[in-house]
Structure 1
Amino acid sequence: MSSGSTTDPQLPHLRPEVQRIIATGKMGAAAPVGSTVSAVLLTAISLTMLWLSFTPVECAPLAWIALVPLCQLLRLRTLPRFTLPGVWMISVIWAVVTLQWMRLGHPAMYLALLTLGIYVGFYIPIFLWVCRRCICGGLPLWLTVPVVWTALDLARAYLLTGFSWYYLGHTQYRWLSLIQISDITGAYGVTFLVAMVSGAIAEQIPAAWLRRWNLDVSDIDNLQSRRYPLAIALLAVALCCLYGFARKTAPDKFPQGPAFALIQGNFTPEIKHDSGMTLTRFRTHDTLTRSSVRLQPDFIVWPETMFSWPEQSAAEGVTDKDILSQIPADVVRDYGNQAAVLAEPFRRREVQSRLANDSQACGAAIVMGLEAMVAQKDRLRVYNSAAFARPDLGYSGRYDKIHRVIFGEYIPLKDIFPWLTDLTPFGANFGIDAGNTPMLFEYAGVRIAPLICFEDTVPHLVRRMAAQRDTNGLECDVLVNLTNDAWFRGSSELDQHLITSAFRAVETRMPMVRCVNGGVSAFIDGNGQIREPEQILVMKEPVEGLNPPLTEVQGMRDPATGFWRRQFSGIIFGHAPLDPRTSPYVQFGDWFAGLCLLAMAAFLTKSFIRGT
């Protein structure tokens, strides 16, 4: 027998192909280190392609094959030793690199970045383990991959307050015909399609290729039968595109809605504690607001927390004594017999009066991002809020942010583990309270729903906002996002935040207007298209004089960089494109991803019943 033969002379009674299988198994057993390295390397290739699919590179076609190397591990009869820990470690590296923009907020955020990276990194080995169990339960690989990936995305949207970033479907935001299915399935449907194509392609890879990597793959290699799943996956993509083509509204067919003047500043978070820069920040925004009046907007919007002073108020029945009890004792002592003046700001409602006067002077409704302090019987509550005033009725209400950012706005379990506050750039008293009530603000016959910070990335929360109706039974017309992306200093976070919010517009079939400090302010229509505003006016900084010159620039993308315009102070003006279409997603919610979760649970259970 030649030295290159794979048959075993000690097993002459077995057919040659059986001897080859046994020989392959022996080689795999003899090289466990090499096969583990191969498994981790395949994972690394997949995660590298995933990284390239998202911002800042945005190579969207790679997303369709990104999971193919990783899915080869689902075809193995047994995983090499230490594969799951190895996959987890490489996944943590991927998550940290992808989320590296978190570190830009403050040096202390490096620890928060690592914590979130460790958490997100767990989803990849969990995906592998669950997929292998579901395949044992009888679900074919090409369906297992999208079902499990989508189900885990749904879990990630809810667990630990939720993190709905970097969904596979988000990579396809430019393919408008495809993403229109989001008004039925949410962004989860687009993710499902992309993952299904990867799963179907993964089955086309010859088993011989994997054996060369010392991987314990089955010798059965009927490529002919595996072409049907690929055909089904491509047909599903085609059908969804046909739906999108029929469902999509031409950009010039949207009814013209109210005019918005978005007042964008460019102020880093450090100035919050600099009294001199606090005045500069206010002056810049106030000057831009006055300059926007000539454009005759219906709504003027300031970004998140850009008003320099908090809105203070006292709940009904709260006495001055109650208020003073919530102010630090040393401050009260310093005021002595005059301590009662400390309670006056909660009674005078100066900020509310200022907003009402400004709205009347501008002849437009104002949506103002600010901090709200509400004195209650038990304690002083602090909210991240959007206040609303209209020229005819004055101050008309406030929305308090519901979805707080973990480590950014609150620390879970900090009362039990005080050291957790070290994960943030703030002190021991750090944190804001969560609001609990969505709000609709109405002016000129148009109803808007405010969203603050990352709330526009949370599908189920935005759906809840969009489903609101006013006292007359009329629904929301425009979603308005107030956010402060200056924390991330021009990084890829700005682009990913914008892209993610575009899916909320498709899901709800409502336009979204985004007013962003240090980021990308934009108008997004119900197709998910990021539209060109009617005017972009950039102010030269620092502000000089009462009427500093404004320079008009063309296009949302800066021709010098190719990126969305960011990090400037100015006015972005345009009309919101109203959308008369209704959305099944708003009515039925995450039914599609929920079915994926149920299917995953069913096949997991089946695999354990089988004992496989």
Structure 2
Amino acid sequence: MLSLHEPSASIGRRRTGCWLPTIATMAKNEKKTILTISRKALFDVMLAATTGVLLTASFPRIGWEFLAWVAFIPLLFSIKDAQPAASFRMGFLAGLVHYTTLLYWVAGVAHHYGQLPGALCALILMLLVFYLSLYPAFFAMVIGKLRARSIPYYATGPFIWSALEYVRSFLLSGFPWENLGHSQYNRLHLIQVSDILGVYGLSALIMAVNAVLFETWDNISRNRGFAWKSTLSVVLVTACFLTYGTWRIGEIDRAVEAAPKRTIALVQGNIDQYKKWLPSFQHETLQRYGSLSADALKSAPDLMIWPETALPFYFLYDRNLTRETLEIVRTCGVHFVLGSPSFRKMGEEIRYYNSAYLVDPHGRVLGKYDKVHLVPYGEYVPLKRYFPFLGKMVEAVGDFDSGRKGQVLLWGREKIGVLICFEAIFPELARSMVQNGSQLLINITNDAWFGRSSAPYQHLSMVVFRAVENHLAVARAANSGISAFVDPVGRLLDETPLFEKAIRSRSLPMMNYKSFYSRHGDVFAIGCVLL
């Protein structure tokens, strides 16, 4: 019996000895696989985060605009073999890093001027960032899915990205802050195409360059050769943009020389935001603006511009302060654009507006523009009916109402359009004024809310595109800076420093011009959405 069982036991021992190394090897290989996956996942996270950092660095205040042309390459690498859900996460992460570092100043505004706790300010910022990050997340998921079907990034990315930027400009009241194309605001020859395609056309080109560089690198690394067709295509389109820009600058410069001119003076009062609305400081505010306006008369201006709510009272209602203001106007003997809050009684209801008045040298009011696109939670409370506990972040008498879109002010025989504060980031508002005959655009703003953050520089960069899209000059008066002029091809002129009293004067052309973009709007962007 023993002889019968011994072989069996021996075989069992041999079998056990044979399997033990195999199990150990499998466990070791599985551990290596897990480590490899973990390292790849960590590397992909780093790539996506790098895209966010590069994007922010391409915008003011860092302003390394060349980075925009390569910023998306790390993200594209991180999603090239990923499933849709993983691509969505990588895109969301890239957006999270980008918008947090781009819009960090939102928390500061809420804390310093909204008097909100730090934790709540951080929550407000992150809610905004989470919402905005959905756009690059959706972008990454869609182009990744299409690439899995052998459709390369360069064939889809430019159009999907531009479509998403356009949707972001109006969805949930709209927030087209620093679109990809805005990073190139100081590249005059490139941005002239905005008078046809809007900023979205430039965004598409930048994305196309990113995609082609990625595909070229990826093909070479996989020994598939150089992507000649796509590379030549994007080089040709870029050359067309630059050639068109060179020709258009020459054409517009010649039109500017022939156009009638008006001398415009900008007055930057640099009024402390904490004191601005104090009744005890109102007289001093008027004295400061009056003194600066008197100094500006040396340039013999035709029009003097004071910033948004430069008058910290209800103009034409507060009699003594209104009388003092009109005395300054009569003494100067020129036309004025004055920023002031206003109200209108509608039966038992009172409606408040953020307004700009055009006043002639005799103190007569020639016209009034009421701000159309209001700042959520700054000038009105969205969804107030459903969330009555929500309040505005800034002090005000009540919710503001919107004015009439496209309204222009008649200045003698000429027409001017006024954009108040962040209305200047919405191209359709400027375009509606040009369609109604505006020959000059004015932007009055109070960027003191932003402190010395990058926000004032970002805000100014977008104003450049309103000039280029419509080929009109822009005169920008800001309470604490940055005040500046923008000529019809986008040159920034006479910029003021932040938080200093300043005056600037310049002769500007009154252009009777309507570009393709002025007449037809966002045809390219809408086409991208329809695709």
What range is the shorter-chain TM-score in?
0.7 to 0.9
- Quick one: which amino acid aligns to residue 277 of structure 1? F
The yes-or-no answer on 1:466 pairing with 2:466 is no
For 1:142, the equivalent position in structure 2 comes to: 154
- Is contact 1:365-1:390 (8 Å) kept? yes
The yes-or-no answer on 1:282 pairing with 2:286 is yes
- Is contact 2:52-2:97 (8 Å) kept? no
- Is contact 1:256-1:575 (8 Å) kept? no
The yes-or-no answer on 1:268 pairing with 2:272 is yes
Q: Secondary structure in 1 aligned to 2:158? A: helix
For 2:371, the equivalent position in structure 1 comes to: 401
Choose which of 222, 225, 228 in structure 2 pairs with 1:223.
225
Shift of 1:189: 1.0
Q: What does residue range 180-259 of structure 1 map to in structure 2 within 5 Å? A: 180-206=192-218, 222-224=224-226, 226-249=227-250, 254=257, 255=259, 257-259=261-263
Distance 1:424 1:393 in 2: 35
Q: Secondary structure in 1 aligned to 2:231? A: helix
Choose which of 156, 167, 181 in structure 1 pairs with 2:179.
167
- Is contact 1:356-1:395 (8 Å) kept? no
Q: Secondary structure in 2 aligned to 1:386? A: strand
Distance 2:420 2:465 in 1: 16
Shift of 1:417: 1.5
The yes-or-no answer on 1:587 pairing with 2:519 is yes
For 1:380, the equivalent position in structure 2 comes to: 350
Q: What does residue range 35-46 of structure 1 map to in structure 2 within 5 Å? A: 35-46=40-51
Choose which of 47, 70, 76 in structure 2 pairs with 1:71.
76
**TM-score under structure 2 normalisation?**
0.86
Shift of 1:292: 2.4
The yes-or-no answer on 1:98 pairing with 2:102 is yes
Cα separation, partners in 2 of 1:25 and 1:370, compared to 1, 3 Å: farther
Q: Secondary structure in 2 aligned to 1:436? A: coil
Shift of 1:290: 2.8
- Is contact 1:258-1:446 (8 Å) kept? no
- Is contact 1:264-1:518 (8 Å) kept? yes
Shift of 1:149: 0.9
Choose which of 474, 487, 490 in structure 2 pairs with 1:528.
490
- Is contact 1:39-1:83 (8 Å) kept? no
Q: Secondary structure in 1 aligned to 2:267? A: strand
Q: Secondary structure in 2 aligned to 1:288? A: helix
Choose which of 495, 504, 510 in structure 1 pairs with 2:472.
510
Shift of 1:73: 3.9
Task: Give the unaligned 5+ runs of structure 2.
Answer: 1-28
Shift of 1:139: 4.4
Distance 1:111 1:283 in 2: 40
- Quick one: which amino acid aligns to residue 38 of structure 1? F
Cα separation, partners in 2 of 1:35 and 1:276, compared to 1, 3 Å: same
- Quick one: which amino acid aligns to residue 301 of structure 2? P
The yes-or-no answer on 1:576 pairing with 2:471 is no
Q: What does residue range 295-374 of structure 1 map to in structure 2 within 5 Å? A: 295-311=299-315, 358-374=328-344
- Is contact 1:366-1:390 (8 Å) kept? yes
Choose which of 49, 54, 65 in structure 2 pairs with 1:60.
65
- Is contact 1:264-1:569 (8 Å) kept? yes
For 1:446, the equivalent position in structure 2 comes to: 414
Cα separation, partners in 2 of 1:581 and 1:397, compared to 1, 3 Å: closer
For 2:4, the equivalent position in structure 1 comes to: none
Cα separation, partners in 2 of 1:392 and 1:445, compared to 1, 3 Å: farther
- Quick one: which amino acid aligns to residue 40 of structure 1? V
Distance 1:281 1:354 in 2: 11
For 2:441, the equivalent position in structure 1 comes to: 479
Distance 1:34 1:78 in 2: 17
- Is contact 2:369-2:409 (8 Å) kept? no
- Is contact 1:355-1:366 (8 Å) kept? no
Q: Secondary structure in 2 aligned to 1:148? A: helix
For 1:434, the equivalent position in structure 2 comes to: 402
- Is contact 1:490-1:519 (8 Å) kept? no
Higher mean displacement: 507-516 or 125-134: 125-134
For 2:14, the equivalent position in structure 1 comes to: none
Cα separation, partners in 2 of 1:221 and 1:591, compared to 1, 3 Å: farther
Higher mean displacement: 588-597 or 275-284: 275-284
Shift of 1:444: 4.3
Distance 2:223 2:78 in 1: 15
The yes-or-no answer on 1:424 pairing with 2:379 is no
Q: Secondary structure in 2 aligned to 1:479? A: strand
Choose which of 173, 189, 213 in structure 2 pairs with 1:177.
189
Distance 2:491 2:370 in 1: 28
Distance 1:278 1:25 in 2: 74
- Quick one: which amino acid aligns to residue 160 of structure 2? V
Give the number of equivalent residue pairs.
492
Distance 2:103 2:423 in 1: 18
- Is contact 1:40-1:87 (8 Å) kept? no
Cα deviations by residue, 1:581-604 (Å, 9 ceiling, x for unpaired): 4300011100001111111xxxxx
The yes-or-no answer on 1:126 pairing with 2:138 is yes
- Is contact 1:262-1:571 (8 Å) kept? yes
Q: Secondary structure in 2 aligned to 1:582? A: coil
Task: Give the unaligned 5+ runs of structure 1.
Answer: 1-23, 210-219, 314-344, 469-474, 533-555, 557-563, 600-612
- Quick one: which amino acid aligns to residue 431 of structure 2? R
Distance 1:28 1:501 in 2: 52
Q: What does residue range 81-92 of structure 1 map to in structure 2 within 5 Å? A: 84-85=88-89, 87-89=91-93, 91-92=95-96
Q: Secondary structure in 1 aligned to 2:340? A: strand
Shift of 1:281: 1.8
Distance 2:82 2:452 in 1: 46
Choose which of 437, 441, 451 in structure 2 pairs with 1:489.
451
Q: What does residue range 527-566 of structure 1 map to in structure 2 within 5 Å? A: 527-532=489-494, 556=495, 565-566=497-498
For 1:320, the equivalent position in structure 2 comes to: none
For 1:51, the equivalent position in structure 2 comes to: 56
For 2:16, the equivalent position in structure 1 comes to: none
Cα separation, partners in 2 of 1:84 and 1:38, compared to 1, 3 Å: farther
Cα separation, partners in 2 of 1:83 and 1:374, compared to 1, 3 Å: same
Q: Secondary structure in 1 aligned to 2:472? A: coil
- Is contact 1:36-1:83 (8 Å) kept? no
Distance 1:436 1:32 in 2: 57
- Is contact 1:74-1:141 (8 Å) kept? no
For 2:21, the equivalent position in structure 1 comes to: none
Distance 1:418 1:523 in 2: 42
Distance 1:273 1:97 in 2: 31
**TM-score under structure 1 normalisation?**
0.75
For 1:18, the equivalent position in structure 2 comes to: none
Q: Secondary structure in 2 aligned to 1:420? A: coil
Distance 1:456 1:526 in 2: 15
- Quick one: which amino acid aligns to residue 522 of structure 2? D
For 2:20, the equivalent position in structure 1 comes to: none
